[in-house]
Amino acid sequence: MRRKFVAGNWKMNGTRAQLAEVRAIAEAAAKLPQIDAALCVPFTLIASAADAAGAMPIGAQDVHEAEKGAHTGCVSAAMLVEAGAKLAIVGHSERRADQNETGHAIWAKAAAAHKQGLGVILCVGETESERDACRAERVVQAQIEESLPEDADGSWLTLAYEPRWAIGTGRTPTPEEIEAIHAAIRRKLTDLIGDRADGVRILYGGSLNGANAAAILAVENVDGGLIGGASLTAEKFVPILEAAAASSR
Ligand code: PEP
């Protein structure tokens, strides 16, 4: 039985003025011991958010694959650990698109984060034209093949299926579409890592909110959510945490 996991991705939002939201979200999460919750914040907020969040893990939204060196503007896994991060997102579609991140780079980032003891949320997802061309499953399975570290298991790795066309748009796939692609992801994981696939959580991400969370989190093989816009305030995020807790009963 995989515990539900709900993670927020604050993207390029959040300064110390928002620490009260971190505190409120962490307090609500502490009252829902049947699920795991986390917030992935900008690099600049990791240390203060980790102080504010108590037991709730704080994560980063990216990590560099190298341990150190001439990589201006980048942050290593060891630096994230020192700042108080417990996990990192890798392969978010906004980074794949904006920073041209390749599958191999994402593999290397995941491996580097794991080496330093960070949990990893590895994101995959198709574009709208790929879905329209009935290529969503193949695209997502290929992304997993390129970027999944060989030693992946559920103790440190989580997958997030995030169709790019659903991110920040208010549009979501149907529960049937989500079920089909999460099943395809589970099959690919099993091909690649055998029985260890059973322990890997697969999150859904893309316009998840308090209104649609119960229906989406009830779908088979949906082990939680990765939430952007609706994770920025306790008012919007806590109902999603509560829906995950309710679906765990
Ligand atoms: C995301 O960016 O990971 C995401 C799921 O965003 P949103 O919830 O805003 O669609």
Identify the structural domains of the chain with CATH numbers, from first to last: 5-201+218-225 (3.20.20.70)
Residue 94 CA, closest ligand 1 atom number:
2
pLDDT digits (tens, 9 = 90+) for 51-101: 999 999 999 999 999 999 999 999 999 999 999 999 999 999 999 999 999
Per-residue model confidence (pLDDT) at position 1: 83
Interatomic CA distance for residues 240 and 9, integer angstroms:
14
Asked about 162 being catalytic, the answer comes back as yes
pLDDT digits (tens, 9 = 90+) for 16-63: 999 999 999 999 999 999 999 999 999 999 999 999 999 999 999 999
CA of 178 to the centre of ligand 1 (A): 15
CA-closest residue to ligand 1 atom 7: 228
How is 46-100 classified by DSSP, letter by letter? Answer: HHHHHHHHTTS-EEES---SSSSSS-TT---HHHHHHHT--EEEE--HHHHHHS-
- The mean predicted confidence, pLDDT, of the chain is 97
pLDDT digits (tens, 9 = 90+) for 157-187: 999 999 999 999 999 999 999 999 999 999 9
Residue 92 CA, closest ligand 1 atom number:
3
CA of 167 to the centre of ligand 1 (A): 5
Strands 119-124 and 87-90 turn out to be parallel
Pocket perturbation via mutation, ligand 1, pick of 11, 158, 203 by most ligand atoms within 8 A of CB = 11
Contact yes or no for 37/25 (Cβ under 8 A): yes
Q: Which three-class secondary structure string do you get for 126-174?
A: CCHHHHHCCCHHHHHHHHHHHHCCCCCCCCCEEEEECCHHHCCCCCCCC
Active-site residue identified among 21, 64, 92, 182: 92
The percentage of residues in the chain with a pLDDT greater than 70, rounded to a whole number, is 100
Per-residue model confidence (pLDDT) at position 249: 73
Which residues have any ligand 1 atom within 6 Å of their CB?
Answer: 9, 162, 167-168, 205-208, 226-230
